[in-house]
Amino acid sequence: MSRPEHYHLNLSAGVLSVTVALVLVAAKLWALDQTGSLAIAATLTDSALDLMMSAGGLAAIAYAAKPADDDHAFGHTSAEDLAALSQAAFILVSAGVITVTAVRRLLSDTPAPLTSEGAGIAVILFSVVLTLILVLWQRHVARRTGSRVVAADSLHYLGDLLPNMGALIALLASARLGLAQIDSVVALVAAMLMVLGAVRIGRAAWDALMDRAADPETLRGIARIADEFPGVLGHHDLKTRRAGSRVFVNLHIELDGSQTLDEAHATGAALRRAICAAYPSADVLIHKDPANVTPHPEDTRPR
């Protein structure tokens, strides 16, 4: 599949993700107004987060198609991490508001009754069906293109099914059993999950902004490709860092010093293509050294 085809498939997944998030936010706003359910408020907040994340993912897909410029030689992917930190803060504040409101309702002598539970149930069922359709398309696109952005967005939407199901249980309990307080309990559980998600997103974004190395599995995978590649006699000074959805890789390989510059270049270029094929989000820079030559200290000092 060509790069333009990859781009258009990824773009279709990004546009569909934003469209679904917009529809769900509008539907859940209406359902919240009709029912007054905190559980729906929690899943509404989650859908609002989805909208921001989907918009960020769509922007990342668009930026990925643009070459680096003079002011941003390594691209613009760090904007994803800045957006993720903002999203994490938004989630924490929203979870705090939902928690305080839920606790107040639980401690109240006269808990607020839910209304129009049927409308809320219909909206939640609609949300579940629409989310499943989106996830199926995203997974198809991720398999075809290898896009980590689309794959991550798909996993995020799968995680949204839990608060949706919680809201559905709360509404059913209120409609069938008159247990309005179940709504507050479900909202508290959803708020806890939101906090855990915010911490995970914020930590990953902070690590990327602080140039933390890629995960150990990725490092081992890159090292294994270099070790097994024809013509590469060894490697050293493997360094990585993340920026948004990109992984920047610097690698020194050891080659037969008697070969021509063209031959050495061809080996390095082929290795780069092999690493990029295994890790499509990687931006790889390879330095070629003659084998059995001790690296200069300036080449191996930490950066």
**What confidence score (pLDDT) does residue 121 get?**
77
Choose between 272 and 160: higher pLDDT.
Answer: 272
Q: Does residue 146 surpass a pLDDT of 60? A: yes
Distance CA 279, CA 273 (A): 10
Range scoring the smallest mean pLDDT among 107-111, 211-215, 288-292: 107-111
Choose between 176 and 22: higher pLDDT.
Answer: 22
Report the predicted TM-score, pTM, of the whole model to 2 decimal places. Answer: 0.56
Choose between 67 and 124: higher pLDDT.
Answer: 124
Q: Average pLDDT of the chain?
A: 77
Which residue bears the tokens 């989000």?
281
Q: Does residue 297 surpass a pLDDT of 80? A: no
Strand-pairing partners, residue 252, are 236, 287
Q: What is the pLDDT of residues 179-224, one digit of tens each?
A: 656 667 777 777 787 788 778 777 877 877 777 888 889 999 999 9
- Residues listed for the chain: 303
Average pLDDT value for residue range 2-11: 69
**What confidence score (pLDDT) does residue 303 get?**
46
Distance CA 166, CA 175 (A): 14
Both tokens of 78, joined, read 């760090």
